[in-house]
Amino acid sequence: DYTYRLFQQGKFIKVPVIFGDDTNEGTIFVPKTTSTVGEADTFIQDQFPNINFTHLTKLNDWYLKENQTREFPNSSPYWRPASTAYGEIRYICPGIYMSSVFASAGVNSWNYHYAVQDPAAEASGRGVSHTVEENAIWGPQYVSGTPPASYLTENAPIVPVMQGYWTSFIRVFDPNPLRYPGSPEWKTWSDGHGEDYRRIFVRTNETRMETVSEAQRERCEYWSSVGPDLSQ
């Protein structure tokens, strides 16, 4: 069955989990030539063939208003808005949904928002793109591709922070006991008493806890509710 539906039915292994995403999950997938709302909709339709007019109306209203367009070198104005839409539907919202499902099942669940900014990536519009956090989790000298230059300079301090959380989780199923000295406590997604949607905001020298915004929560609740309709 579809993943969303199976999670709705409680058909998953109940073990402690970490879910999380990057600020700009969609930028490496959406064509940089996306110049109109129609082209943005066509890209989304190609990714989700079952998407219907009602879904697209929501999408256009949330993400593809003219005042949301952005100009970056060698790109068209609707590249970034379409990237935001795709990133939430495909990655961020499913992660938020699964964090809530595990928490509702009484399982410790941690979520992160990775927001470490590389100057070159920010200038290009790629931003904090899909899986860029692997440079901090493994260390930039151990990744298969070329790491962003800043991970060897100004963003080097985020590497031991991420590695501390991850190795602690691997060893004791909790990212906190063995975390890097001085790193903030990474609280669970829910405290079990009504304080929910908690995630850690990860940025060099700014790492802290945050709560998912009401606007993103609204969008993600909708996309999760129609997930099986989109064959997710």
The alpha carbon of 212 is separated from its chain's Cα centroid by a whole number of angstroms, namely: 11
Decide: 73 and 125 in contact? Cβ < 8 Å: yes
Read off the pTM.
0.96
What residues have CB less than 8 Å from 186, skipping those under 6 apart? 110, 112, 165, 175, 176, 179, 200, 209
Which pLDDT does position 194 carry in this prediction? 84
Q: What angle do CA 54, 42, 20 make, to 5 degrees?
A: 75
Distance CA 31, CA 34 (A): 6
Cα 14 to Cα 51, 102, 107, 133, 227: the distances in Å are 31, 7, 6, 25, 22
Express each pLDDT in 155-189 by its tens digit. Answer: 999 999 999 999 999 999 999 999 999 999 999 99
Q: What integer pLDDT is reported at residue 78 of this predicted model?
A: 97
Residue 192 predicted with pLDDT over 90:
no
Gap between the Cα atoms of 11 and 32, Å rounded: 38
Q: What is the pLDDT of residue 23?
A: 98
